Amino acid sequence: MAGKRAVRALVVDDKQDVAESLSRLLLTMGCASTFVTNPAVALDAAQALEADIVFLDLGMPDLNGYELARQFRKSYRDAPLRLVAVTAYGTAEDRAKSRASGFDAHVQKPVDIAMVEAMLATLFGRFGAG
């Protein structure tokens, strides 16, 4: 992350309460965060935010997180965008499938706050506005 700019996070989940909760959690961690509930607008939302990281629900109707991850990787070939799979499934096979789809990390629901903080610190070093 360049300078002292906060990590910019986008949350994509078709369930508004889940998306909003994770976005608010990221805000408390010092990220600049927003969310969308329509996966069809996720690419544009990430571009508008200049997102550093995108948390994608895997089980969305119409456009699932795996396909959306492939679209992000195609659109952001030269950008250091991080993708995090967010799902209720956490087997080794599930994690391998998310890696194969272009995800950098895999977070199991319900989201563990300490694990997300550690992941952000690993991916971005000291993150947040301060």
Could you tell me if 49 and 8 are in contact, meaning their C-beta atoms sit under 8 angstroms apart? Answer: yes
Q: How many domains does the chain have?
A: 1
pTM of the model: 0.91
Task: Give, for 82, the enclosing helix (H) or strand (E).
Answer: strand 82-87
Residue 84 lies in a domain: yes
Residue 20 lies in a domain: yes
pLDDT given at position 21: 95
Residue 130 lies in a domain: no
Structural domain containing residue 111? 8-124
Q: What is the pLDDT of residues 105-116, one digit of tens each?
A: 999 999 999 999
pLDDT at 2 > cutoff 70: no
CATH of the domain at 85: 3.40.50.2300
Q: Is the peptide bond before 80 cis (omega within 30 degrees of 0)?
A: no
Could you tell me if 119 and 105 are in contact, meaning their C-beta atoms sit under 8 angstroms apart? Answer: yes
Residue 2 lies in a domain: no
pLDDT given at position 116: 93
Q: What is the pLDDT of residues 33-90, one digit of tens each?
A: 999 999 999 999 999 999 999 999 999 999 999 999 999 999 988 778 999 999 998 8
Residue 101 lies in a domain: yes
The pLDDT confidence band at residue 99, using thresholds 50, 70 and 90, is very high
Side-by-side strand order, sheet with 53-57? 32-36, 8-12, 53-57, 82-87, 105-108
